[in-house]
Structures are given as structure tokens and as C-alpha cells.
Amino acid sequence: MHQEQAAEQERLDTVVQKIDQQLLEAREAYAKAHSETRAVESNYIANTSINTVEIDDAMETNAEIQQQRNIVARVTETENIMAKTVDTLTMLRPNPYFGRVDIVEDNLPETLYIGLASLQDDQGDFLIYDWRAPISGVYYNGTLGKVSYPTPNGEQIVDLKKKRQFVISDAKITNMFDTNETVGDEMLQFALGQQNDEVMRNIVATIQKEQNQIIRDTTSDLLVVQGVAGSGKTSAILQRIAFLLFHAREALNSDQIVLFSPNRLFSSYIADVLPSLGERNMRQVTLAEFFSARLQGLTVQTLFDRYEQEQQMIGQASQNIREVLESADIVKFIQNYVDQIRTDELHFVDIYYEDKVFFSAEELANYMATLSVNYSMRERVDMVQKHFLQVLTDRIDRLQDADWVLEELDNLTDQEYQELLGDEDIEETMAAENVDDVISLVAKRYLTKHWQVIDDALYNSFFLDIYEQYVAFLTYMGEQDIDHRDWWEIKRDRFARQLEYHRIDLEDAAPLLFLRDALTGGGTNQAMSYVFVDEMQDYALSQLLYLKHAFPRAKFTVLGDSEQALFRAVETPQALLNKYAQAFVAKRPTLIKLNKAYRSTQEIMNFAKALLPDGEDIMTFTRHGEKPNLIQTTTNDVSTVLTNEVTRLRQKFQTVAILTKTATQSIKVVDALRNYPETVQLLHATDRSRMANVLVMPIYLAKGLEFDAVIGYDVSQENYPDDQATGLLYTLASRAMHALSLVSVGRVSGLITRVNDTLEK
């Protein structure tokens, strides 16, 4: 192997030389393109400052500006391409590839090297294949022998003779292994044994077979991934996004992909993965942010707020009503409601312009009353919208020569005037017989711009008072459900009260938006191609269905772990899967289960598994560490115990996180650690990054994250009294990569004592 390593190093040196040479050329080309862009741009700026007072001058300037803009766009594109090439080569240089496969295809032997991006020599031969290329699939999927990979003409079979993995650092091979497995264990041991970074790393060198299935799926319209804690779900979807971007370069860009993530901390935790693969990040949003954006001006309760507010207990009535509002049936209930609303039951609001009523609710309602009830409610709302848009256009036409408008035009700066004239209408302006026509045109544009807000309000059907309508809907639900009428009334009153503070409960967001969209026909984004939902177990079915409705053309990848349910009771994976497949009415649904946990040591996972009713199904990657450490203490001693435990763990590990059940307990822990010498960072739901090595946060904020060592704070019977808390404890334990300690103030929770044998004696 020694000689072989020398030979491989020699080959690597040649590749690195090639990279250096291409890098030199690319940098030169980039510098040239860059200075060309600057020259064109400064020329463009000089030209746009031409006198624009006289109409004729303005027209000439417009034609030139357009031409200049095109030139700027072209040179900028060349510059961007060169910049990307420089970036890719720079990324490849220290670590050009991580894998090699020797294959025999149609009797021809071939050796391929696989890395983060493709590299070709001057003859066009591939020195490195991109890990996402079809042929690279054999590296991830096949054991030695006959394997296949997709080609435009169907599956191609090849004979896989050798599979080799490299650990390369700074262009030197530090280790290499030949393996028959998908991706050998040595490499994975090496990757998983490392200490935690603040940000997630890409896993392309060691993607496992089942993960590869998720990454390379291009056919499913609904891909549901149920994966145990630490099985690489998040990793797999990020590599999947990189894969999709590579394969649909022309048709797909990162703006057409959105990831619903659990919180902002998580967003920044994963933010480096795609850039490390040479790709731009997709959009990221939390569910509450998405809903708040759609309900302008309102704050939608987050899951965390709800959880904190309900620590005391939630009443049975509220619980039952919530179940209805969050069920798939809500879509049907809303449609039934909309189908039976009478004209006079529709709630309108005034449309204002600068503090004055522009269109009154009354005039909108009056117009509505003239429309035949043979049209559906949706059609009539549409007709109201069209009618008032026309009224607005007529008003603009009528007023374009009004004195006050001309006066306001006189007060415009040259630049504002120029902007109104625009540059796409040069011909139209030139054809104008006299200056008056040009002024009328500018006046019309001025008014249109002025009243754009009215246009937008009409366009978005803001003339409907959807909040009042939702109140009416809740009343209607009470009438349908006579036995629980008082429950619905409580809900209705709470909604109205919350609204006064511009807040709504999370459970109302999806039904409210469904109601609005049912009345207006809006709310859909046709441009989104892929929607990813991480931590699916935290979403109610009505919320997932709303996402489906909002992104009708998107393919969905929904992933999570039914057993990490912090906010609901644990459901069996199968039940969850069946529910989604049915509700999404998917044409090509695929379910993938990931049962192997990679994050934590076997000792930590043995404890975590034992907590679950069917935990024995979870397989663990064999990597050893200490058994979890349980410490029982008292209120008086807890400060010393925590300080000592953090000190002990910090001697061995980079990051130590103390995870609590609630935000209030986190504050207590920070106080208890006041004598600990290092910085202790308390994290909140609004935080975007972690700075310290010792972190304190409630478990729900640690969703999706991982730490070298975790201390579970207060695993007492009082804090974790019953089976409802299983999901919490399981999530807590599975955040730890190398070490786990549990601190109980008073009697230890029965959930833990019953799995005593998995703990350190």
C-alpha cells in the first residue's frame, strides 16, 4: 500500500499542478473581465449624467442608456463566470478528490477520481468527476462487482473493480483505504470522531447508500424521509439541493428552492454547507415567519411561544378545538363555509390613501350586492376587484390633465421626471406630436405610481376583512357543532382579543389563510420548484397542506423523526407516513426510512434508544465513548455540581451545551454557572449564532443541532413526569456527539430510572 500511496501522491501532484495552471489562467481572465466591467460601467455613469432637461435630449439619452445597460450586463456575466471558475479551482486545490473507482465498461478499463467539482485537462479528459455526475453514483451505491448508473439511454451496467477512499489535506494524501463497502467505515469513523464545529460540514466523501437514495431522487413529487435522530436527514437534504442544482443548472436556481427550518440558529448552523459545495444557499424561512409575511403586520405565534405558554396546562376545550383547526378536514370545513356565505355576510373594509378613505367598505359592499348570486362567492369577489381596478384606471385617465397634478409634476426633480418617462417607451415618446402629449403621459404615470398602493390593495383583495370573516367562520363552526358551541365561542373571543394586539395563535394561521385564499383565489406561488420541510413532526397537517396549496407546482421533500415530537405525543413512523401520503394526494410518493444513527456514540444511543417504546429498531454506528453520567443533587448543591460537570467536560471537548426543558430553567442554569470562569451563552429563539463554547438553551432550540457534550438539566421526576416527555428526553440525549451527562434536582424521573442499566454505574 505504501508504494501505491506514493503513486497516488504522484498523480495528485500532477492534478494539483494542473489546478494551479488553470487557476493562473482563470485569475488573469477574471482580472481582464473585471477591468472591462469597470470601464464600461464608468462610461455608463458618464452617459447617464447627460443633460435631461430638454425632452429631445432625454430621448437620446434613453436610447444610449439602454445600449449601455446591455453592454454592462454582458461584461458582468463574463466576470461572474470567471469569478465562479476561480472559486471552484480554489475550492478544489487543497482537497481535489476523495474517491476513486476502477470500472470496466464495454470491456474498457477506466479509472475515475471523484471530488467536489469536475476538472478537465486541455484535451477535455476528466481528471476529476463531480460527485453529482451520473457515473459518480457507482462510488456511493455499489459494492464491488456489477453495478449500474443512469444514462440518457437507460441504466448502464459496469463492472466495479476497485473502490478507494482518500483523506487529503493541503494537497497531501494523509490516508487511503480500499473498500468493498458502499463507503467504508474507516472514513466514517474518521469523520464522526472529530469534534464539533460551529457550523455543519458537508458529507459528500462519506454519503451512505440510503442517504444517496434521498440525494439522487429526481422523480418523486412527495419524498417523505423518516429518519432516527442523527441519521443524516438534514445532511442528506442539503446535499440533495446541491445535486438538484447541478442537474437542472439551466432550469433551476437557488431562489426556487425553499427550506422550512425550525429556527434561526439552525439556519445559520447549516448556512455553510452549500457554499462549501460551490453552490448558493436556498431560501430559508421558519413557519411563523412565512405565515407572518402572508398576514402583513400580524405576529404569528411560534411553536416555542406556544410551548412555553402552555407549560402550565392547556384546557381540554382549547385542545379539542385546536385538533380540528390543525386537521386536514379544516380545508373542507372552510370550503363548506365559503359556499354558504350570503352576500350581506361578507365583511369589507375601507381602503385608505394617506389617511383618507379612497374606496369605502360601503361602496364595495353595495357593488357586491348588485352581482347575481348565480356566480360563486369567489367569482363575485373577483368581479368586485376588477370593477374597482377599472374605477381607479378611469379616475387616473380623468385626472391626468388636472391642475393639481400638473402642479405636482412641476415640483419633480429631473431625475424623478426621467424615471417616469422610463426608457422602454422611447418610440412612443418620439412619436408624440407635441410636448403636451408627453406631459399627459408623464402625468398618467405619476398618478399610477402615486396610487400604486391602491392598485396593490385591490389586487391583493385587501378590501375584504378576513379577520372579521374568520370570526364569523368560528361562529359558524360553533353552529355546526352544537355540542361544543361554547368551546368555539371561547376560541372566537380569544382570536378577537389577540387580534387587538396584532397577534394570532399558530393554530389559526393556516385556516385563516385558507379562508382568505378560498375567497380571493390568491395565495399561490407558481415559481417555487422544490419545498423542503425539516422537522416535519412539528407541523400540523393543516399547515403542511397550506404549504402544498401555496406552492402548487413544487415537489416536496418532508423529513423528520416522529419520535422527536416535542410538541405532540409521539406517533409511530408508519402512522405519520400514511397520513402524509393520503393528505398530499401525491402521484409519485416515496418513503425512505433512515434507521442508522451516526451522530452519537453507541453508549449515548443505547440510552436514547432505551427511552423509546420501539427503540430497538434504531441501529447505531459503532463508535465508542463513556456511558451517560447521571448525577442526582439538591437545590443547594446544583450550582457546584453544574460548574464541576461543565469544567470536567470542557477539559475534553470543544462545545458543551446545557439543555433545559423551558426558557425559565435556562435562565436558572446561567445563574447557577455564575462562578464558572468561561463565557456562558444563553440562547434565545431570536438568536442567529452561537459564540461561546458553553451554551445554555431550552431543548426545542437545540433541534437539529449537535454538540460535543450535552448536560441535560433537571431530569427529575417533577420535570419529566410521564410518557409525554419521552420525545423531549430522546431529543436531548441525541444532540450529544461524544458525551452526555444528566443532572437531576431531587428524585430522578421514572423514564430514566427504568433504563438505569444504560447509564454509568
Site string for ligand ATP, 170-209 (x = CB under 6 A): ------------------x--xx--------x-x--xxx-
Identity of the residue, 537 or 660, whose beta carbon is nearer to ligand ATP in the bound complex: 537
For ligand ATP, the nearest residue by Cβ is 232
Interface region with ligand ATP, contact rule CB under 6 A, candidates 141-149, 224-232, 333-341, 565-573: 224-232
Query: Please, are residues 426 and 59 in contact by the beta-carbon 8 Å criterion?
Result: yes
Residue 152 CB, nearest approach to ligand ATP (Å): 29
The CA distance from 10 to 520, in Å, is: 67
Residue 275: strand, helix, or coil: helix
Q: Is 124 annotated as a binding residue?
A: no
Identity of the residue, 187 or 630, whose beta carbon is nearer to ligand ATP in the bound complex: 187
Identity of the residue, 235 or 256, whose beta carbon is nearer to ligand ATP in the bound complex: 235
Beta strands in 570-683 (DSSP E): 589-594, 596-597, 619-620, 629-633, 656-660, 680-682
Applying CB under 6 A, the site for ligand ATP has a residue count of 23
**Residue 657 in contact with ligand ATP, rule: CB under 6 A:** no
- How many Å from the N-terminal Cα to the C-terminal Cα in the chain? 44
**Residue 231 in contact with ligand ATP, rule: CB under 6 A:** yes
Residue 427 CB, nearest approach to ligand ATP (Å): 57
Interface region with ligand ATP, contact rule CB under 6 A, candidates 16-24, 151-159, 222-230, 509-517: 222-230
Q: Which of 393, 392, 449 is nearest to 416 (CA)?
A: 449
Query: Please, are residues 519 and 469 in contact by the beta-carbon 8 Å criterion?
Result: yes
Site string for ligand ATP, 133-172 (x = CB under 6 A): ----------------------------------------
Residue 745: strand, helix, or coil: strand
The residues that bridge with 629 in the sheet, in sequence order, are 741
> What's the gap between Cα 173 and its chain centre?
36
Residue 710 CB, nearest approach to ligand ATP (Å): 12
**Residue 89 in contact with ligand ATP, rule: CB under 6 A:** no
Identity of the residue, 191 or 591, whose beta carbon is nearer to ligand ATP in the bound complex: 191
Residue 236 CB, nearest approach to ligand ATP (Å): 7
Q: Is the dihedral of CA 410, 415, 416, 421 positive or negative?
A: positive
Return the H-helix or E-strand segment holding 652: helix 638-652
Query: Please, are residues 711 and 743 in contact by the beta-carbon 8 Å criterion?
Result: yes
Residue 737 CB, nearest approach to ligand ATP (Å): 7
Among 19, 147, 229, 531, binds ligand ATP (CB under 6 A): 229
The CA distance from 75 to 55, in Å, is: 31
Contacts of 183 (CB under 8 A, 6+ apart): 139, 140, 165, 205, 206, 207, 208
**Residue 232 in contact with ligand ATP, rule: CB under 6 A:** yes
Among 491, 516, 599, 650, binds ligand ATP (CB under 6 A): 599
Query: Please, are residues 256 and 678 in contact by the beta-carbon 8 Å criterion?
Result: no
Q: Which residues of 687-711 are buried (b: 16+ CB within 10 A; e: fewer)?
A: beebeebbbbbbbbbbbbbbbbbbb
Site string for ligand ATP, 540-579 (x = CB under 6 A): ---------------------x------------------
Among 61, 88, 141, 211, binds ligand ATP (CB under 6 A): 211
The residues that bridge with 619 in the sheet, in sequence order, are 596
**Residue 230 in contact with ligand ATP, rule: CB under 6 A:** yes
Q: Is 232 annotated as a binding residue?
A: yes
The CA distance from 119 to 18, in Å, is: 9
Q: Which of 285, 689, 227, 189 is nearest to 525 (CA)?
A: 285
**Residue 615 in contact with ligand ATP, rule: CB under 6 A:** no
The CA distance from 626 to 602, in Å, is: 9
Residue 605 CB, nearest approach to ligand ATP (Å): 11
Contacts of 266 (CB under 8 A, 6+ apart): 534, 703, 704, 705
Q: Is 227 annotated as a binding residue?
A: yes
Residue 733 CB, nearest approach to ligand ATP (Å): 10
Site string for ligand ATP, 714-753 (x = CB under 6 A): --------------------x-------------------
Give the number of C-alpha atoms closer than 13 A to the C-alpha of residue 394, restricted to the C-beta side: 6
Residue 534 CB, nearest approach to ligand ATP (Å): 7
The residues that bridge with 680 in the sheet, in sequence order, are 694
User: Annotated binding site, which residues?
Assistant: 227-234
Per CB under 6 A, residues contacting ligand ATP are: 188, 191-192, 201, 203, 206-208, 211, 227, 229-235, 561, 598-599, 704, 706, 734
User: Annotated binding site for ATP, which residues?
Assistant: 227-234
